[in-house]
């Protein structure tokens, strides 16, 4: 089997990160299929960022292992970084550069040669309908356009998988819905999408969703099955059930 024939983009096996005696991520085991839209949810402090940092090759696991795009995150972290895209609300594009300059800049960071950058720039401007704004300073464009571009730039090097860390924070629902059309379009080209969000309507759009509670995966399934299992009408209620049950357990432990 060649690397490109793999069915799974992410395989985590007992992946763990402890800071001193505190385990922020506690033996995570799960797989993400090629071309799947996988939602990674959890309350603040549940351990999502720590897990993502390990999966992106930025933080060494304390124990366990994970492979991303076919590369081990512990021993082949550089290969992992070359084969993933990453977009977050915090780490975004440069407002002072034009649209074209942003694509060129990030193409360079992702290691593309000039010829590939030029080809990808043309494709991207056309696909995003941004050709007439190519030489406009990014700062003067509406937030929805910037977000579209940030997502495409995260995939400028054609990665197998893209990590989206709360990509739609601070934008209105219509813009968010449009952004999800881009996500579906990328997934239809077999790009794997790993997305964290605090918006429960977005959790409904994912193929499968995992919910982290206190460093562990408390539930993982399609939104439909999760709602059936918990016998509730929305992902918001699934989320509240899990968060509430651990809160209750903690209160019982303290008593």
Ligand X SMILES: Nc1ncnc2c1ncn2[C@@H]1O[C@H](COP(=O)(O)OP(=O)(O)OP(=O)(O)O)[C@@H](O)[C@H]1O
Q: How far is the CB of 16 from ligand X (least distance, A)?
A: 12
State the minimum distance, in angstroms, from the CB of residue 115 to ligand X: 39
Give whichever of 82 and 88 is closer to ligand X, judged by the CB atom. 88
Q: How far is the CB of 43 from ligand X (least distance, A)?
A: 7
For ligand X, the closer of residues 41 and 117 by Cβ is 41
Q: How far is Cα 207 from Cα 221, in angstroms, rounded to an integer?
A: 8
C-beta of 47: minimal distance to ligand X in Å?
4
Q: Distance between CA atoms of 32 and 63, rounded to whole angstroms?
A: 20
CB count in 10 Å sphere of residue 200: 18
Whole-number Å distance between alpha carbons of 222 and 80: 27
Q: Which residue lies nearer to ligand X by CB, 19 or 91?
A: 19
- Six token digits for residue 202: 């977005």
Nearest distance from C-beta of residue 161 to ligand X, angstroms: 19
Interaction site with ligand X (CB under 6 A): 19, 24, 42, 44-50
The CA distance from 156 to 87, in Å, is: 12
Q: How far is the CB of 26 from ligand X (least distance, A)?
A: 10
| Closer CB to ligand X, 162 or 211, in the complex | 211
If the CB atoms of residues 49 and 98 are measured against ligand X, the closer one turns out to be 49
| Distance (Å, whole) CA 16 – CA 25 | 5
**Segment (H or E) for 12:** strand 8-19
* Strand ranges across the sheet with 216-221: 84-88, 161-165, 192-196, 37-42, 208-213, 216-221
Q: How many Cβ atoms are within 10 Å of 108's Cβ, its own excluded?
A: 13
Which is closer to ligand X, CB of 45 or CB of 173? Answer: 45
């Amino acid at each position: 089997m060649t690397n490109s024939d793999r069915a799974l983009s992410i395989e985590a096996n007992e992946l763990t990160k402890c800071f001193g005696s505190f385990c922020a991520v506690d033996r995570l085991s799960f797989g993400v299929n090629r071309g799947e839209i996988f939602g990674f949810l959890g309350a603040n402090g549940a351990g999502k960022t720590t897990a993502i940092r390990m999966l992106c090759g930025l933080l060494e696991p304390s124990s366990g292992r994970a492979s991303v795009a076919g590369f081990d995150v512990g021993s082949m972290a550089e290969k992992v970084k070359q084969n993933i895209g990453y977009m977050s609300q915090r780490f975004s594009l440069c407002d002072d550069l034009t649209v074209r300059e942003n694509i060129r800049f990030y193409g360079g960071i992702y290691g593309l040669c000039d010829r590939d950058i030029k080809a990808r720039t043309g494709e991207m401007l056309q696909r995003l309908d941004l050709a007439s704004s190519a030489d406009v300073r990014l700062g003067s464009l509406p937030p929805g356009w910037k977000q579209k571009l940030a997502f495409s730039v995260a995939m400028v090097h054609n990665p197998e998988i893209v990590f989206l860390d709360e990509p739609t924070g601070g934008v209105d629902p219509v813009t968010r819905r449009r952004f999800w059309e881009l996500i579906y379009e990328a997934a239809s080209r077999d790009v794997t999408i790993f997305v964290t969000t605090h918006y429960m309507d977005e959790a409904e759009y994912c193929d499968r969703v995992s919910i982290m509670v206190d460093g562990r995966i408390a539930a993982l399934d399609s939104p439909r099955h999760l709602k059936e299992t918990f016998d509730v009408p929305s992902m918001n209620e699934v989320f509240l059930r899990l968060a509430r049950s651990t809160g209750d357990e903690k209160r019982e432990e303290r008593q």
